[in-house]
Amino acid sequence: MTEMTAYTPGMFCWADLSTTDAAAAKQFYTQLLGWTAVDMPVGPDMTYTMLQIEGKDVAALYQQGPDEQGMPPHWNSYVSASSAEDITARAKALGGTVLVEAMDVMDLGRMAFVQDPTGAVVGVWQPKGYIGAKLIGQTGALCWNEVATRDTQKAGEFYTQLFGWTSKTENMGGTLYTVFFKEDQMSAGMIQITPEWGDVPPHWMVYFAVDDCDTNVQKAKSLGGQVLVPPRDVPGTGRFATLQDPQGAVFSIITMSS
């Protein structure tokens, strides 16, 4: 378990769920991952629900607003930054697209969203009063973020320059997998979308830690979720599965090797 008080710029710091049914999503995830849901009013018609373990924020969810109508439910991943404006300017210069310009989120921080040249979208968080997740790595908490793309070379060049990452690619069980690093810390992963995946769009995937991957997969199914990738071992890393919640958002769970 790691209790966080600050994040190095370039490290993932937060994840939230944009969903079409916040009440149903709260029921699914609290039962699956042991979270407690705490509703926070953030406007006249919006509630931002903090998802907690032992009273500490690990993620959040919210009901999609009018500006997201027609968008499928999805998890957002956020990278900590010292300046959201600097990141968005750099993203444009590197061939990315800024979907949401840097904006204040009350007195908590500044947020932006950028799309890499291959199509995956990532959030940027410049902390002020709020750093992001207070716990990472423990059961139920965020433990990994991974971009899936059809052009790993183009995406890799973009992200290393955007966030100051370095990268290392290895063959993991027949699959080439890239790990990004920030100041010698593993910051994220990257994998190639192959034809076998079908028409899956480029995306950033969130991984939550669980004690027993197989047990959690069965629980997800009993709660109305679907299994997109059945439990499988990653040598030297752990056992993971990819799931879809009842509203359609996709996420992964992993039991890390001891």
| pLDDT given at position 46 | 87
From residue 127, give the alpha-carbon distance in Å to each of 85, 133, 195, 218, 220: 13, 11, 39, 37, 33
* Across 223-240, average pLDDT: 94
| pLDDT given at position 1 | 58
Would you kindly state where each structural domain of the chain is located, as residue ranges? 2-127, 138-256
pLDDT band at residue 235, thresholds of 50, 70 and 90?
Answer: confident
Specify the fold of 2-127. Answer: 2,3-Dihydroxybiphenyl 1,2-Dioxygenase; domain 1 (3.10.180)
* Across 34-55, average pLDDT: 93
Q: Are 256 and 143 in contact (CB under 8 A)?
A: yes
Q: Render pLDDT for 1-24 as a digit per residue (tens, 0 to 9).
A: 578 999 999 999 999 999 999 999
* Across 110-139, average pLDDT: 97
In this chain, the answer to whether the domains covering 2-127 and 138-256 adopt an identical fold is yes
Q: Which helix (H) or strand (E) holds 102?
A: strand 97-105
Q: Which helix (H) or strand (E) holds 71?
A: none
pLDDT band at residue 115, thresholds of 50, 70 and 90?
Answer: very high
Q: Which helix (H) or strand (E) holds 31?
A: helix 22-33
Tokens representing residue 242 in the block: 């990819």
Span 138-256 CATH architecture = Roll (3.10)
Q: Render pLDDT for 155-203 as a digit per residue (tens, 0 to 9).
A: 999 999 999 999 999 988 778 999 999 999 999 999 999 999 999 999 9
